[in-house]
């Protein structure tokens, strides 16, 4: 699958529904008739149940805001392409099936659209902490996206450690 096409689909979803960054995921889930349920769940993954009239994303209460947002965006990704399975779990396996990789790419682009990232990276002097705070995602999500898009970054604003 062409990951650039998936990124384009995520940006088109944002544009079609007038969603701006940082994305208000409650608006996106309302559009798609997805209910979010927070439960005591011991891991940082989420579960998507696809129903006939409503979909449900289950996330753990203990997760950080950034992790919750990624897991919700990941669930949205599985609802949009009309995947055939009835439920999905987000996980951190390295050898994920293609559908899982596509959902990761979609979720990342939904939360951190590349054109906005390039603009904000320059504005925030490529500081990972400021970018993560702006997009309301984890530092790891920003770092991964910057590396994939070959955008310079620094960990510490004082030292200017560019990699």
Model confidence band, residue 120 (pLDDT cutoffs 50, 70, 90): very high
Query: Is 105:57 a contact under the CB 8 Å cutoff?
Result: no
3-111 CATH choice from 1.20.140, 1.10.10, 1.20.1340, 1.10.3470: 1.10.10
The pLDDT tens digits of the residues spanning 42-96 come to 777 888 888 888 899 999 999 999 999 999 999 999 988 655 454 445 554 567 7
What does pTM read for this prediction?
A: 0.86
């Amino acid at each position: 699958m062409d990951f650039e096409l998936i990124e384009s689909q995520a940006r088109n979803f944002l544009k079609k529904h007038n969603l701006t960054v940082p994305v208000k995921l409650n608006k996106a889930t309302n559009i798609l008739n997805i209910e979010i349920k927070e439960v005591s769940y011991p891991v940082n993954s989420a579960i998507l149940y696809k129903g006939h009239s409503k979909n449900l994303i289950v996330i753990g209460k203990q997760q950080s805001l950034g992790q919750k947002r990624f897991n919700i965006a990941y669930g949205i990704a599985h609802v949009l392409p009309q995947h055939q399975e009835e439920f999905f779990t987000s996980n951190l396996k390295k050898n994920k099936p293609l559908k899982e990789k596509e959902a990761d790419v979609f979720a990342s682009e939904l939360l951190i659209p590349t054109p906005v990232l390039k603009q904000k990276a320059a504005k925030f002097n490529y500081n990972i902490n400021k970018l993560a705070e702006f997009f309301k995602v984890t530092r790891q999500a920003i770092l991964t996206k910057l590396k994939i898009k070959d955008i310079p970054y620094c960990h510490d604003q004082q030292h200017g450690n560019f990699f």
